[in-house]
Amino acid sequence: MSFLDTHTFLSSAQIFLSPDYLIRAAAHPWELEGARELRHQVFVEEQGIFDRHDRDGVDDVAMPLVAISTFAAEADQVVGTVRIHEYSPRSWRGSRLAVAPSHRRQSRLGSELIQLAVCTAHGRGCDRFLAHIQMQNVALFERLHWRVLREVEIHGVPHMEMQADLAAYPPIPDPFAGWKTLAPRQAAV
Ligand SMILES: CC(C)(COP(=O)(O)OP(=O)(O)OC[C@H]1O[C@@H](n2cnc3c(N)ncnc32)[C@H](O)[C@@H]1OP(=O)(O)O)[C@@H](O)C(=O)NCCC(=O)NCCS
């Protein structure tokens, strides 16, 4: 195989292996199950915040959002998730934001899920969007136009309650359509 052939082969492989991600509201049972499994991996197994499971009553009313990796242009695996719910009229919360360790700090999936979360709520009449943010993530949220309200302890872990600046999050009408985001390695091919 010549250098050119090898390069062409590697480029094709990279295109195949470095897919787009779909950012959207979870619609199919496998997406809901993928979000459930990812939350278990992150909040029970990795962070140890919960003993056996991280489900609670909010799951009965929340809308789950997901980041889905693709393989050969088809939806493949849930690699990120967050949930949103309206806890009182026009006031919303986001919670259980999680990205699979293998997909963190590379494609801004956490940031994109935050964007979908707040824009979706805004599109449904939200005028106040809050979340409890773990301390190591406060700087990330500040860069995304959130401000700190107060420090609180949740499940024995210190958090900051933060509020999103809705002006930075234009309403979107259909979170199930969502959008596609490009993996950075693919952009370099
Ligand atoms: C918090 C969490 C969801 C963030 O997900 P993520 O996909 O890594 O988020 P992003 O990629 O949007 O941003 C994370 C960082 O990577 C950086 N980053 C993202 N893409 C990048 C790229 N292509 N090149 C360089 N840096 C990049 C971001 O600038 C950000 O920097 P920071 O750590 O200095 O703030 C993820 O770390 C996670 O699941 N953690 C465990 C669970 C958790 O803490 N949940 C949140 C509870 S509040």
CATH code of the domain containing 156: 3.40.630.30
Rounded to the nearest 5°, which phi and psi values hold at 168? Answer: -90, 0
Kindly indicate the confidence band of residue 183, based on its pLDDT and cuts at 50, 70 and 90.
confident
Tally of structural domains, the chain: 1
Both tokens assigned to 47: 């962070």
Residue 132 lies in a domain: yes
Residue 8 lies in a domain: no
Q: How far is the CA of 5 from the centre of ligand 1 (A)?
A: 36
Please give the distance of CA 75 from its chain centroid, rounded to a whole number.
16
Q: How far is the CA of 4 from the centre of ligand 1 (A)?
A: 36
| Mean pLDDT (whole number) for 72-89 | 95
Helix (H, G, I), strand (E, B) or coil at 6: helix
DSSP letter string, 137-188: GHHHHHHTTEEEEEEEEETTEEEEEEEE-GGGS---S-TTT-EEE--HHHHH
Which structural domain range is residue 124 located in?
17-182
Residue 105 lies in a domain: yes
Q: How far apart are CA 35 and CA 91, in angstroms?
A: 24
Query: Looking at the predicted structure, is the pLDDT value of residue 2 above 50?
Result: no
In eight-state DSSP terms, residue 88 is E
Which residue's alpha carbon is at the smallest distance from atom 2 of ligand 1?
A: 110
Helix (H, G, I), strand (E, B) or coil at 107: coil
Residue 6 lies in a domain: no
Q: Which of 56, 28, 31 is nearest to 43 (CA)?
A: 56
Report the amino acid identity of residue 19: P
Kindly indicate the confidence band of residue 107, based on its pLDDT and cuts at 50, 70 and 90.
confident
pLDDT given for residue 169 in this prediction? 98
Q: What are the tens digits of pLDDT across the range 21-63?
A: 999 999 999 999 999 999 999 999 999 999 999 999 999 999 9
pLDDT given for residue 19 in this prediction? 67
Q: Which residues contact 83 (CB under 8 A, 6 or more apart)?
A: 35, 58, 59, 62, 63, 64, 65, 94, 95, 96
Atom number, ligand 1, closest to the C-alpha of residue 184: 23
Measured from the Cβ of residue 12, the count of other Cβ atoms closer than 10 Å reads 11
**Residues contacting ligand 1 via CB (< 6 Å):** 42, 97-99, 104-106, 108-111, 133-134, 137, 139-140, 184
Residue 2 lies in a domain: no
Angle at 60 between CA 57 and CA 66, to 5 degrees: 110
Residue 4 lies in a domain: no
Which residue's alpha carbon is at the smallest distance from atom 18 of ligand 1?
A: 105
Residue 59 lies in a domain: yes
pTM > 0.75: yes or no: yes
pLDDT given for residue 72 in this prediction? 84
pLDDT given for residue 185 in this prediction? 54
pLDDT given for residue 16 in this prediction? 46
Residue 5 lies in a domain: no
